[in-house]
Chain A
Amino acid sequence: MLRREFVRAVVSVSFAPKLLLAQQSAEPAPARPAPVPWTLGLNPRTPLPHTEVVDGIAETELRFFTPQQMATLVRLSDVLMPPLDSRPGAVQAGTPLFLDFLIGSSPDARKKVYTGGLNWLESESQKTYKKPFANLDTGQVDALLKPWLRTWMNDHPPTEQHAGFVNIAHDDIRTATVNSKAWSDAPADPDERTAAGLYWYPIEPDLYARNADCAHLPPHVVAAPKAAHTMPSYPR
């Protein structure tokens, strides 16, 4: 934007509250001749379009795992976290395809844990039952998985090869499921609610807070005005 146009836009924005009032009056001010500065119309009364979280509306595309690895992951997810009572299971929460996205976006070491682990499950299944892991019944899956279950503490999953995959995948499948929209929509015990917290946006300085009044943003908290102003003081 040319400097002159920028200045014009800023000047126009500063008149916005007056323009708003003008629109409400019996005799609205005559429309401006074109061209109108780009951002002139947006104001605090502009309705915000309502958007939805994509999960449950659109399907994630399979981009990382092979179809066979995905079939194994779906069966694994269903056994590790089946639907219970009112709670959706991992499959209903879209967890396998979400993990395809998450693991596919991750560093190689994490990718190898999953691809190696899923391939191992498939080969164990073929060796033991002569059929794909995806077609095993729950008892057969239990026989393959249970020897590798371990208890462990945060940041220290088991380091044995297969136990590492089984326990890490279990933890990831549970987290992805509990944090899903589907889980959040189901009635759940307060201690099993989807994680919620204070999300920090990227923090960059900009000028919009200077127009906080206009934008109806929460007022910026000034920690301590300079000496010329009165300021709160903590008792010591």
Chain B
Amino acid sequence: MTNEVFDVLIIGSGHSGGMAAKILTESGIRCLMLNAGPVADVSRNAEQKPAYELPYRGFKPPGKLEHVFQASEFNANVWVDEQEVPYTFAPENPYNWVRVRLFGGRSLFWSRQSFRLSDYELKAKSHDGFGDDWPISYADLAPFYSRVEEIFQVSGAMDGPPQMPDGNFVPDDTPWSQSMQRFMAAGKRFDMPVCKQRRALGRDGLASSVNLLLPDAEKTGKLTSIDNAVVRELTVDKNTGQPNGCHFVDRLSRREMHVKARVVVLAAGTLESTRLLLNSKLANSSGVMGHYLMDQIYGPGVTCSVPEARNGKATKELMGGGAIVPRFRNISTKSDKFLRGYALNVSSSMGPVHPRNFAAYGADLQRKLEEYHGSSFYMTMMGEVLGRYENHVRIDKDKVDAWGIPVLHVETKYTDNEFNMAKDAVAVGSAVAEAAGFEVLSKNEVPNPPGYSIHEVGTCRMGDDPKRSVLNKWSQSHDHKNLFIVDGAGFVSAGWQNPTMTILSLSMRASEYLAGEMKKNNI
């Protein structure tokens, strides 16, 4: 067994690795999956607790996870520790790299928003002249989206405009609340389409690799998985120059090991896959590896109150529900302030309003909290970040992680295109709210640091030209036909959409291609 050569080595167990494992093993291909962290078992590793029983009363443990704004004391132990696996950046350009190394990766913890890209993203250059088109079009991806939506049980309505293609949905026919109807009516004068949210329901309350993908792979008997395997670098066959496995280190014992495989599929998450290839000095004949890092602008938004719902008058007819406003800028009109566009997540709530929405304290604040209870209406922005060569990652030669593996240096920042987009989102959001008769309580037009959205994509982009891209249209390395990257690293443009459905569809498509090529003995 020690010298066993697997058909395919899959590095990473999240959405993209889980999908690759499912498709490949169901095709009869023997796969080895390595994951850098342990298996999380909620029945053993977690417990319901009140904040006062925790050492910091629910505050994030001080000095830890400085760049994980999403962390609290309750979940601090599920994120990658920045001291254990550091990364570097210039102080003036901070980057929030939000990572999970538990088995299943970030598929265990995600917002479940599930959108398709359209040709406004896949053929963005053809539309507005900036950047590059993807080597594939919407028609290539659509059948895969449908299958992924079936597996992930995506709920939604068939109400999307062309820039948000409809899909294979669990129908959402819940009625709109009156506050949402008022928002929709007010948005019409801004050409703002307002659609039902699209969300992966999954099964049993979870929509993750560990419950929707890996069980199918395990059922075949063709999947072998190892946890706590921190991959140091890919190995190369001296005769052929092709990848043939990897070196890894056991996370706890630090025992150094290696495994062999005929094909390597990277699914470690955009920046970890790129870090691994840069450390392995592979697949970068184009020199563009690490470049074109993108994500989405998060942080800007508007918090409002619906006056008719105050003083205990909120009803289910008036309040509640959510909506997605898909990108509406630069579709049929052209902005002179920015390229591309943003979406708004909209929600109406019968719950409490956060105290920071009132410039008051003490008894005054308490009165406000009681008066406004049940009347809140929120808009938050998801804006496309343009793909720029200069926004990149590289290996930091001066720093290593807990296992001696060189870390990433991230050099990226937002430009006026992103800042102007954020200002527009808040201005339009406020105007629509006021036109709908809502009171604006607070707003923010400053984006969170890049990375915050946890939608980092790019750095190994796909393309038809091997001199300007790392992967071909099948997510396969131009340099090594037995090397695939199936996570978000292959994206050519980020879009405003949450990337999960696209990552899953690309992984499914690449894996079926790989299985076919292996059957034909082309790989």
B487 CB, nearest partner CB in chain A, Å:
21
- Count A-side interface residues using an 8 Å CB cutoff: 67
Contact with A along B423-451 (1 / 0, CB 8 A): 00000000000000000011110101000
Partner of A53, one of B53, B62, B212, B361: B53
A156 to B300, CA, bound (A): 9
Which chain B residues numbered 70 to 84 have a C-beta less than 8 Å away from chain A? 72-78
Q: Are A153 and B444 in contact (CB under 8 A)?
A: yes
Chain B CB within 8 A of A132 CB: no
Residue numbers in A under 8 Å from B56 (CB-CB):
102
Does B329 sit within 8 A of A, measured CB to CB? no
CA–CA, A228 and B360, complex, Å: 64
The 8 A CB mask of A210-236 against B (1 = contact, 0 = none) is 000000011111011111100111101
Nearest B residue to A233 via CB reads: B219
Q: Are B214 and A223 in contact (CB under 8 A)?
A: yes
Query: Looking at the complex, which of A20-28, A36-44, A120-128, A189-197 is the stretch in contact with chain B?
Result: A189-197
CB pair B58 A179 closer than 8 Å: yes
From A204, which residue of chain B is reached at the shortest CB distance? B38
* Complex contact B57–A209 (CB within 8 A): no
What residues on A are CB-neighbors of B42 within 8 Å? 198
Closest to B218 in A: A224
B38 touches A203 (CB 8 A): yes
Q: Does residue B151 face the partner (Cβ distance < 8 Å to A)?
A: yes
Whether the Cβ atoms of B356 and A153 lie closer than 8 Å is: yes
Q: How many residues of B contact A (CB 8 A)?
A: 73
Stretch of A1-9, A11-19, A65-73, A76-84 lying at the B interface? A76-84
B219 near A153 with CB under 8 A, answer no
Chain B residues within an 8 Å CB radius of A172: 59
A123 to chain B, nearest CB (A): 21
Among the stretches B43-51, B386-394, B494-502, the one at the interface with A is B43-51
Say yes or no: is B227 at the interface (Cβ < 8 Å to chain A): yes
**Pick from A150, A175, A176: contact of B359, CB under 8 Å:** A150
Question: For chain B residues 380-427, which have a beta carbon within 8 Å of chain A?
Answer: none
Interface string of A97-125 (1 = CB under 8 A from B): 01000110111001000000000000000
Contact of A167 among B49, B356, B443 (CB under 8 A): B356
Cβ–Cβ contact B74 & A200, under 8 A: yes
Q: What's the least CB distance linking B32 to chain A, in Å?
A: 15
A106 touches B444 (CB 8 A): no
Are B441 and A205 touching (Cβ within 8 A)?
no
* CB nearest to B302 among chain A residues: A153
Sample of 18 further A-B pairs with CB below 8 A, known A82-B362, A149-B360, A153-B443: A102-B59, A146-B359, A152-B356, A155-B69, A156-B444, A171-B356, A172-B59, A183-B52, A196-B50, A198-B49, A198-B75, A199-B73, A200-B77, A203-B40, A205-B39, A223-B215, A228-B221, A234-B212
Could you list some 13 contacts between A and B, CB below 8 A? A80-B361, A98-B57, A102-B62, A172-B59, A194-B51, A197-B74, A198-B48, A200-B46, A200-B76, A209-B44, A223-B218, A227-B218, A231-B215
Hey, which bits of chain B sit against chain A, CB under 8 A?
Answer: 37-54, 56-59, 62-63, 66, 69, 72-78, 102, 150-151, 203, 210-212, 214-216, 218-221, 227-228, 252, 299, 301, 303, 351-352, 354-363, 366, 373, 441-444, 446, 448
Chain A interface residues toward B at CB < 8 A: 53, 55, 79-82, 84, 98, 102-103, 105-107, 110, 145-146, 149-156, 167, 170-172, 174-176, 179-181, 183-184, 191-192, 194-205, 209, 217-221, 223-228, 231-234, 236
Top 3 A-B pairs ranked by shortest CB distance? A227-B221, A224-B215, A179-B51
